[in-house]
Amino acid sequence: MGILTDLTPSRVVNEAFLFHNGQRYLIGSKSPQQKQTFYPVENKTLAIHPDDVMMARCNMTNHENRVIYMGNTRNDEMCNFYMMYVVDLADEDQLHDRYNQQCFSDGKANVDLSSFIDGKYEIVQR
């Protein structure tokens, strides 16, 4: 993570977390201004279980005198965090479930994330 050049109006970092049994685990953290590709997670033992919550967020510092919205133009901020994971063959039914194909939120989550983002959860290493 670093400060961007003067041509870029803001500093941005994307990060993703897994919440499991009251613990927060960092999945990854990267500036979207760096090379865009899939990076392996450092924590090779991280596993996703039923009822776990996976959350990605974009932290941006706006130095401009205007509101910057999420979008696809050069005037917008585009923060995406793509995660690729494997599913055991025994659980392949979930791959055909139309409700498990993608997850997106415009910032209004369908679950109460206040306990996840207010500092109650410490990042732990598995």
Contact at 8 Å (CB) between 24 and 124?
A: yes
Q: Which residues pair with 29 in a beta bridge?
A: 15
Q: How far apart are CA 69 and CA 82, in angstroms?
A: 20
78 annotated among ligand-binding-site residues = yes
Q: How far apart are CA 107 and CA 58, in angstroms?
A: 10
Known binding-site residue numbers for Cu(2+): 78
List the binding residues. 78
